[in-house]
């Protein structure tokens, strides 16, 4: 009964964030602010360029526009709160705010996992069956694939949110993190979290492994097709368009796997913070640069608009 009383009184969490010297707090604030500005400008610019230029109204760029939207959304779920906490002594987030932040963050990140797999399917259709590509990847099919990615994201987010916030936290409300995430919440729970850790590992591993296998199989087919292309120019163009996607996939899946899909991922809060900074802020900043600098069509579209 005492535990239930303490649990019912918990109305907020304290985000401990980055434990550094006061002088470094200002530097971190400026760095994260700069990264977030680049994220917003880069991804909005990518969305506008693809929307405005009619030559980019193709399935590949439809998916890329949705990727930019996700890369804009999930940093926005956490970055403003991180910046606000740098300027505040309390560093609090309400219980309901923590639930909302976690739900939307999990939704957008999971959706991006599936969208990257969809983009690999798009590339295999374009390179292995170019004549049937318009039929395979019609507008209706593209919308359904993106919608399916969001549905998977919602399901995963609902399951994780339900399991995580069914835990009891008693009087401990200090999260050793800069946003509400599963490992940090499990760490401060005052009840047995074995089931939650198993759910976290199984679901995360399932999502990462299945989508990664889909991507690897897709690129294996693409590679076998590309090697049959007689012209060097044709091969280089194919590798150029696929190279951007491979770079984005490697960065995103690598960090997500080390964060969630390995046993003992909850053991090191400091390591989790470093990895979390990379996939929550750095990758969404790099993706527009990767896709714009390595893609001639996007660069040409930017020049035409300017």
In tens, the pLDDT along 61-110 reads: 999 999 999 999 999 999 999 999 998 888 899 999 999 999 999 999 99
Are 190 and 172 within 8 A, CB to CB? yes
Looking at per-residue pLDDT, the higher value among 253 and 181 belongs to 181
- Where does the pLDDT of residue 8 fall: very low under 50, low under 70, confident under 90, or very high at 90 and above? very low
Q: What are 186-240's pLDDT values in tens digits? A: 889 888 888 888 988 889 889 988 998 888 888 888 888 777 767 666 666 666 6
CATH class of 12-298: mainly alpha
Domain chopping of the chain, boundaries = 12-298
CA distances (Å), origin 253, targets 60, 177, 247, 278: 20, 21, 10, 12
């Amino acid at each position: 009964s005492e535990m239930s009383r303490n649990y019912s009184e918990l109305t907020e969490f304290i985000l401990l964030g980055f434990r550094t010297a006061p002088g470094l707090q200002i530097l971190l604030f400026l760095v994260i602010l700069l990264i977030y500005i680049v994220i917003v400008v880069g991804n909005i610019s990518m969305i506008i360029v693809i929307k405005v230029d009619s030559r980019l109204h193709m399935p590949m760029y439809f998916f890329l526009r949705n990727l930019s939207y996700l890369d804009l959304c999930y940093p926005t779920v956490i970055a403003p709160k991180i910046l606000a906490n740098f300027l505040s002594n309390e560093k609090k987030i309400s219980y309901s705010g923590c639930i909302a932040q976690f739900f939307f963050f999990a939704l957008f990140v999971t959706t991006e996992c599936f969208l990257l797999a969809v983009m690999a399917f798009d590339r295999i259709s374009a390179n292995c069956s170019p004549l049937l590509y318009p039929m395979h990847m019609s507008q209706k099919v593209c919308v359904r694939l993106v919608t399916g990615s969001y549905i998977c994201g919602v399901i995963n987010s609902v399951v994780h949110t339900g399991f995580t916030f069914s835990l009891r936290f008693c009087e401990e409300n200090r999260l050793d993190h800069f946003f509400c995430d599963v490992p940090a919440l499990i760490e401060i729970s005052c009840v047995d979290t074995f089931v939650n850790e198993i759910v976290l590992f199984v679901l995360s591993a399932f999502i990462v492994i299945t989508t990664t296998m889909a991507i690897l199989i897709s690129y294996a087919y693409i590679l076998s097709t590309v090697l049959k292309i007689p012209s060097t120019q044709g091969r280089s163009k194919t590798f150029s368009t696929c190279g951007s996607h491979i770079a984005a996939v490697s960065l995103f899946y690598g960090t997500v796997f080390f964060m969630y899909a390995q046993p003992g991922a909850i053991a090191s809060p400091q390591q989790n913070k470093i990895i979390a900074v990379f996939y929550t802020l750095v990758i969404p900043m790099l993706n527009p640069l990767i896709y714009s600098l390595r893609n001639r069509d996007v660069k040409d579209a930017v020049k035409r608009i300017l």
